[in-house]
Amino acid sequence: MSIPMRSWTPTHGAPYRPVPYRPDRMPPQETLARAAELRERMSARRTVRQFAPDPVPEQAVRDAIACAATAPSGAHQQPWSFVRIKDAGMRRRIREAAEAEERVSYQGRLGEEWLAALRPLGTDEIKAHLTDAPELIVVFQQRYWLGPDGERRKHYYVDESVGIAVGMLLSALHLCGLAALVHTPSPMRFLSEVLGRPENEKAFAVIPVGYPAEDCVVPDLVRKSLPQVLTEI
C-alpha cells in the first residue's frame, strides 16, 4: 500500500490526465463479511460528552484527518482545513468563548421549538468537553479559494463536501478506538478570530477527541431501523 506524496496545487481549468484505476476486485464473500463487520462496528459508535483527560496517540489523529481529507468534494476543490488543538490554554479560550455564545443561545436565542428538540438530550451551555478532552479538531470550510495575491475563486457544494469529510473523520476516529463529539457552537465566528484563520475560512464544527471518561454515560438512544431509512426499488 502506498500513500501518494504529491502536494496539491491549484489547476484552474487544466484538464486532469486520466490514469488507470484497477483496484483488485474483492470476492463477494469477503465484501459481505466486511460489510457485516463494519455495520456492527459503526453501530457501536456513540457521541461522547464526557472525556477522560488521557492523551490519544498522536499519529492516529493525523491519520484520521488525512482520511477525512480523502473525501470527495465539489469540483475536487477540497474546501476544508483542520486545526488540531492540544494546547490547554487555547482549549480554555475556546471553551470560554463557546460558552459565552451558548449561554445566549440556551437563554432563548435558539427559540422554543429548538430548545424543546434539545431537551431530551439534556445539553446546556456548559461545554466541559472542550477542556476535558485532550484535543480538539476545528474543521473549517473554505467558501472560496484565496490565492497568494488575494485572487478569489468560488468553491461549490462546500457544505456537502465538508459534511462528507466530517463523516469520514468521525468514522476513522471511531474505527481506531477514539471517541468524538460534533460540537457546533453558534455563531462560530470567534473561532476564526481566536485561531487567526484567513478570511476565506468559516468554522464548520469543533470536534473534541479522546477516550470516554470512566464514568461516561450516553443517552439510551434508538436508531432508526434499516426498513425505516431504506427504500429499495
Dihedral of alpha carbons 16, 172, 204, 55, sign: negative
What does 56-100 look like in DSSP terms, one character per residue? Answer: --HHHHHHHHHHHTTS--GGG---EEEEEE--HHHHHHHHHHHHH
According to the binding rule CB under 6 A, does residue 31 interact with ligand IYR? no
Nearer to ligand IYR, 31 or 186 (CB): 186
Nearer to ligand IYR, 74 or 212 (CB): 212
Nearest C-alpha neighbor of 137 from the set 72, 63, 73: 63
Q: How many binding residues for ligand IYR (CB under 6 A)?
A: 7
According to the binding rule CB under 6 A, does residue 186 interact with ligand IYR? yes
Residues in the chain: 233
Three-state DSSP class for 5? coil
According to the binding rule CB under 6 A, does residue 118 interact with ligand IYR? yes
Nearer to ligand IYR, 35 or 118 (CB): 118
- DSSP E strand boundaries for the chain: 80-85, 135-142, 144-146, 152-154, 179-180, 201-210
- Start-to-end C-alpha separation, the chain: 37
Only one residue has cell 457544494, namely: 157
CA dist., res. 166 & res. 156, Å (int) = 17
Nearer to ligand IYR, 63 or 125 (CB): 125
Nearer to ligand IYR, 95 or 183 (CB): 183
Binder of ligand IYR out of 185, 191, 194, 213 (CB under 6 A) = 185
Nearer to ligand IYR, 31 or 184 (CB): 184
According to the binding rule CB under 6 A, does residue 201 interact with ligand IYR? no
- Whether residue 219 has a cis bond before it, omega within 30° of 0: no
Binder of ligand IYR out of 71, 183, 205, 209 (CB under 6 A) = 183
According to the binding rule CB under 6 A, does residue 123 interact with ligand IYR? yes
Binder of ligand IYR out of 184, 187, 217, 218 (CB under 6 A) = 184
Q: Which of residues 48-107 bind ligand IYR (CB under 6 A)?
A: 102
Binding site for ligand IYR (CB under 6 A): 102, 118, 123, 183-186
